[in-house]
Amino acid sequence: MKVSASFLSSHNIPNDLIRLDHTDLDFIHVDVMDGKFVSNKTLPFREMRHISDYTSKRLDVHLMVANPSKYIPLYAELNCEYITFHVEVLENIEEDLKLIHDYSIKCGLAIKPDTKVSSLIPYLPYLDLILVMSVEPGEGGQEFISSSKDKIREVRDLIDSYHLNILINVDGGVNDKTISMCRDSDMVVAGSYIIRGDDFQEKISSLR
């Protein structure tokens, strides 16, 4: 199981990024919110761009924004492994996925808890990753929605039915108790569970 850590709940981002850099964490999960697609807003890019001053870990960027094409060129400047945006934006999805690939970055689509898995089908040929939201996007510290276990399985069955090599990532309420419901995924995002712990490495290891 790959692990990506979100610093959304951090009270000292530079310090926590440095601490995460000294673990065997796979990725830093970067939540980007515009106050439109979701009600909350995150730090502006002029501040986010300094993430790699504090960590050499590759970034897993999650765009919770109404207009991904505005943000993709900005975050493509950083040390990104993945850039993911939401299938619920509905417009220009194929074009934005191609734009991410144009920067030689892997692309993903995220899906909210109430969105049908079938909405992903038209875009499967372009995807490297599918992000299953196990909470409503836009706010850290929420509890894992238990029905997400079935959704993860449904996404896995969909990928297998098309014989595609697409990673499944799960984001929201992931901890040592809920990780058992994520076993059909390849990767998980954990925020509060890691960041609010004393020993980051211990928390990361408990999810593998």
**31, 60, 96, 128: the active-site residue:** 31
Annotated active-site residue 96? The verdict is: no
Cα 166 to Cα 29, 101, 145, 171, distances in angstroms: 18, 15, 23, 16
Q: At which residue do the structure tokens 């984001």 appear?
A: 171
Residue 93: closest CA among 66, 129, 61: 66
User: Cα angle at 200 between 26 and 145, to 5 degrees?
Assistant: 75
Residue 176 Ramachandran class (φ > 0 left, ψ -120 to 50 alpha, else beta): alpha
Q: Is 171 a catalytic residue?
A: yes
Q: Which of 16, 60, 128, 171 is catalytic?
A: 171
Q: What are the backbone dihedrals phi and psi of residue 130, each rounded to the nearest 5 degrees, phi first?
A: -120, 125
Q: How far apart are CA 195 and CA 180, in angstroms?
A: 20
Active site residues: 31, 171
